[in-house]
Structure 1
C-alpha cells in the first residue's frame, strides 16, 4: 500500500528562499500549498491561498487542510510567525511546524533548523560573479573565520526530509556539511582559480563593522550585524554540537549535497538568480 504523503503549507513561498522550499516540497511529491500576498484576487492560482495573516479565521480554515507548516520568513517579518502559531494551535491538526519562535509553548510538534549560510546568496554577495570585469572584493575581518556555505537547493531538500522525519521531531537539526565549511579567503582563492582572475582585496576590520552597524538605520544594520557574526566572529562554527543536536549528514548519509566547489562551478556556467534580502 502506498504511504500517503503529508500535505505541506509554506509561508514566505514567493521570497528568495521560499521558492527553493516550494520546489523541494513539490519534487518530493508532497501536496504543496503556499501562502502569498494578494496580487490578483480575482484570479487565484491553484493551491495558492490568498489571504492576510491578520485574517485569523481564514488562516485557521486553511491550516486545517494541511499537516505540516514551514515558515521561511526573515527580517522584518519574524514576529509575523506569532500569528501563524496562534492559528495553528486553534486549527489543532498540524503534525509539525518549522518555526523558531515560541515553538515549545505552542504544544505542536516542531523542528528547529540551523541551515548556516545560503551558499548562492553569499557567493553573490561576496564575489559578485555577475560582474565579470570586477577585480575587487571586500573581505570582512581577517577573512579567516570559518562558516557553512550551503546551496539553497540542498537546504530546502534537507528541510523537507526533516519535516516528515520522526527522528527530528521536537529537536534541532544542524546543516554543518563537512565539505562546505570554508573561509572567505579560501572561497576567494577557489574563485580566482576557476575564473583565472586575481582579486584585489579590501579588508573591513571588526571595529569598523561594529561602528557601521551602530550608525546604520534599520533594517540595514541587521545585514551588517549578520555579516559581522558570520565572517568576523565565526559564530556558525565556534561551538560544539550538543548531545541532543541532530546532524543532517548523519541523518541522511545517502543525500549527495552540493559542495562549495560544485556551487562555484554552477556560477561559472549558469549562475543562479541573485537574491535580495529584506535588509538590503
Structure 2
C-alpha cells in the first residue's frame, strides 16, 4: 500500500466487528495505510466475516491473522504502524492489557485509542451490572495512562443504527413499542458511519492527544418519545407505547443472572436516568462537532430516512 504524505499508518484490533468495520472503511477512505489484526479464519468463522475480509483486501487493507496471546507477532505488527485503535467487543475488553504491553514493548506508537465507543465511563454511576461492565473499561484507561502511552479516549455515546433497530424494530410489523421509564430522558444517538469517520479524524488530531473526546452533536440528542413520534411521522403509522417502569428495570437488574442483567442496566442508564446527558461539556472540553464544524453528523431525522429506504441490518450481538 503506497503511503501518502502526511498520513498515519493505522492498526485496528476488532476491525471485523460491529463498529470496527466502520473504522476500517473510514481509515481507508481518509487515505491512511490501514492494518487489521484479526483472529485466523476457522470453522466457526461467520460467512459475513469472511466476506468482510475479502472486501478489506480488495481495498488494500493489510490483514494480519493472529491471537492476542501472540505478543511477539503483535509487537512486530505495531512496529509497522503509527496509531492503534481497539474496537474489541465487551468480552475482550480485559485483553487490551495485552495490547498495552505490546505497545510498551514496541515503543513507537504515537496514539492509542482503547475500545470505548459508548458512554463517558468516568462520569457516570449506573446500576451495579453496568457499573461492573464499565469498570473493565476504566481499568484499561488507567493502565494506558500508567504506561505513559499517548492516548485519546472516545465517548461516542449510543450507536444509533443499533439502537434504532432495538427500540423501533423497523424490520417487523408490530404496532407496539417498548418505552423505558417515562420516555422523557434525553439520549445521544450517533450513526456508526459517522463514529468511524470522526474517530479516524480524532486519532490524527494533536489537540486530542491525552484527552477525552465526546460525540454530542445537538442534532442527535433525543428522547424515546421524540424518537417514536418522529418515526410515526416518517411511516404514517401510530404505535402503542408499552411502558416498563423504572422499578421493574431495577428489579430485573438485581434478579437476572449475568450477563443477562447487563442490557437492562444499560437501558436504565441511557433511557431512564439519562446518564449520557447528566454532565456538562464545558468550553475547554473536546466535543467532536465543535472540533470539526466543517463535518456534518448524520441527524436522527436523516438516519430514519435511511431506515425507510435501505435499512441497516440489526447487529448480530446485543450491545456489542
| Counterpart in the other structure of 1:24 | 26
Query: Which residue number corresponds to residue 149 of structure 1?
Result: 189
The match for 1:200 is: 240
Equivalent pair of 1:75/1:278 in contact (CA under 8 Å): no
Deviations 1:162-201 (A, max 9, x none): 0000010000111001001000000000001100111111
Deviation, 1:76, is 1.5
Q: 2:129: which partner in 1?
A: none
Structure 1, unmatched stretches of 5+, are none
1:260 pairs with one of 287, 300, 316: 300
CA contact (8 A) 1:37 1:52 kept: yes
Q: Which has the higher helix share?
A: 2
Tell me the secondary structure at the aligned position of residue 19 of structure 2.
Answer: helix
Residues 62-113 of structure 1: CA deviation (Å, up to 9, x unaligned): 1111100111123221101111011011011100011162221121110010
Q: Give the whole-Å Cα distance in 1 for the aligned partners of 2:89 and 2:268.
A: 17
Return the match for 2:156 from 104, 115, 129. 115
**Contact 2:19/2:192 (8 A) holds in 1:** yes
- Which residue of 221, 226, 238 corresponds with 2:278? 238
SS in 2 for 1:186: helix
The answer to whether 1:95 aligns with 2:147 is: no
Q: Secondary structure of 1:210's match? A: helix
TM-superposed deviation, 1:279:
5.5
Query: Is residue 83–residue 109 contact of structure 2 (8 Å, CA) maintained in 1?
Result: yes
Work out the number of aligned pairs and report it: 277
Q: Whole-Å Cα distance in 1 between the matches of residues 197 and 291 of structure 2?
A: 13
Give unpaired runs (5+ residues) of structure 2.
44-49, 117-139
| Mapped contact 2:289–2:297 kept (Cα < 8 A) | no
The verdict on how the C-alpha distance between 1:149 and 1:197 changes in structure 2, with shifts beyond 3 A counting, is: same
1:1-280 aligned at under 5 Å gives the runs 3-39=5-41, 46=57, 47-99=62-114, 101=140, 102-131=143-172, 133-242=173-282, 244-277=284-317
How far apart are the structure 2 equivalents of 1:242 and 1:89? 33
Q: Distance in 2 between matches of 1:19 and 1:221?
A: 28
1:40: how far off? 5.2
- For the residue of structure 2 that corresponds to 1:77, the secondary structure is helix
Q: What TM-score do the two structures reach when normalised by structure 2? A: 0.83
**Secondary structure at 1:76 match in 2:** helix
